[in-house]
Amino acid sequence: MTPTNALSATGAPLKFMERLRTEASVEPDAVSTAPVTKETQIIAIYGKGGIGKSFTLANLSYMMAQQGKKVLLIGCDPKSDTTSLLFGGRACPTIIETSSKKKLAGEAVAIGDVCFKRDGVYAMELGGPEVGRGCGGRGIIHGFELLEKLGFHEWGFDYVLLDFLGDVVCGGFGLPIARDMCQKVIVVASNDLQSLYVANNVCSAVEYFRKLGGNVGVAGMVINRDDGTGEAAAFAEKVGIPVLSTIPANDDIRRKSASYEIIGRPDSVWGPMFAELAENVGTSQPMRPKPMTQDQLLGLFSADVVGRNVVLEPATQFDMCGKTEIKKETLEVVYDEV
């Protein structure tokens, strides 16, 4: 019979050790696939730089506000251009810049210093460091730390939309996925290889963190500047995510976007398109994507577009040295047998 106060080899009581082993043997709960139940939907939108995320989000957030939703748009791109369309081209003071100025002045940052609104849409920019003077990902982390101090988790919004640059793969830009800060991710892409490469990377990141126990899923894709060639739609089908909206490559849209005009209005000719997108974004469910390999991604395009007919020819030492081939003995140390 084992005494109740017996010790293990490490000096801990045996009953305590048995309790730890029992607790450790319990399998964790399965990853939730239930519909989003949190009152505030926090959605991270990713895409290649210049693909039209800011255009899409400005018009989407404006339409949501016109539908009676309370929306917060947060730009998480160092270019700080997410809110420029919303504010008619005006630059919005960034959180990082404002925080630095307030710190030097010995003052605290107030919400009115960094958050601004237009027609029911609330918006802010995290910002980033000057070129060559810091890490953009670290700037994002710092920005969210300040938002948490300002009460981010207590704010009462229907939707919080986060605009993230998908080209960058460092930790700061993966923050919403890695830390379960959002419930779902939406990717913006077009019918070109580079934007789909970025979208595939985002799907890979989501799947990686799901395997680690994360709960973020990909809710779908917005195809921007669609020219009808179909590669983006084929990609969405292959990775198992829905297409939430297809925005055509239209000259009217291009001109109005270039002049900082909101087209996501109920009375606009493009209003129904953004109204449908708003509905699809709200009801879409986070899903586990099936990322493609590089060869599978290239397979979406014809060989003359991506150059898959090119044959890799190995270089020789003669190619590298020029006129004569220099043969060098190995630098490996060989010991004589005793």
Structural domain contains residue 162: yes
Cα separation, 37 vs 323, whole angstroms: 71
Q: Is 251 a catalytic residue?
A: no
Structural domain contains residue 95: yes
Instruction: Point out the catalytic residue in the list 70, 79, 117, 238.
Output: 79
Give CA angle at 90 (253, 249), nearest 5°: 15
Structural domain contains residue 183: yes
Q: Which of 83, 141, 138 shows the shortest CA–CA distance to 114? A: 83
- Write out the two tokens for 161: 């939309």
Say which residue the tokens 């979208």 belong to: 199
Give the β-pairing of 121-125 and 116-118: antiparallel
Give CA angle at 219 (199, 224), nearest 5°: 50
Question: Domain containing 178 — which CATH number?
Answer: 3.40.50.300
Q: What is the mean pLDDT of each run of 10 residues along the chain (338 residues)?
A: 53 67 63 58 94 95 97 88 91 89 92 95 86 70 86 92 83 84 95 95 94 94 96 97 98 94 96 98 96 92 74 85 69 66
DSSP state of 130: P
Q: Is 48 a catalytic residue?
A: yes
- Write out the two tokens for 257: 């976007």
Give the β-pairing of 121-125 and 184-189: unpaired
Structural domain boundaries enclosing 285: 41-298
Instruction: Point out the catalytic residue in the list 113, 117, 158, 167.
Output: 167
Structural domain contains residue 15: no
What strands, in cross-sheet order, belong to the sheet with 116-118?
116-118, 121-125, 71-76, 159-165, 41-47, 184-189, 217-226, 243-248
Structural domain contains residue 31: no
Cα separation, 264 vs 287, whole angstroms: 27
Q: Is 252 a catalytic residue?
A: no
Instruction: Point out the catalytic residue in the list 53, 163, 184, 256.
Output: 53
Q: Do the Cβ atoms of 143 and 127 come closer than 8 Å?
A: yes
Structural domain contains residue 3: no
Q: Do the Cβ atoms of 18 and 184 come closer than 8 Å?
A: no
Q: Please give the single-letter amino acid code of residue 43.
A: I
Say which residue the tokens 């601004």 belong to: 116
Q: Is 238 a catalytic residue?
A: no
Q: Do the Cβ atoms of 40 and 162 come closer than 8 Å?
A: no
Q: Do the Cβ atoms of 174 and 220 come closer than 8 Å?
A: no
Structural domain contains residue 30: no
Cite the DSSP H helix spans in 121-270.
136-149, 175-178, 193-211, 231-239, 251-258
Total structural domains within the chain: 1
Answer positive or negative: Cα dihedral of 305, 306, 309, 311.
positive
Q: How far apart are the first and last CA of the chain?
A: 59
Cα separation, 50 vs 250, whole angstroms: 16
Q: Please give the single-letter amino acid code of residue 135.
A: C
Structural domain contains residue 331: no
The contacts found for 254-260 with CB under 8 angstroms, 24 or more apart, are 257/55, 257/85, 260/84, 260/85, 260/88, 260/89
Query: Residue 7's beta-bridge partner residues?
Result: 13
Residue 207 has a CB neighbour count (10 Å cut-off) of: 18
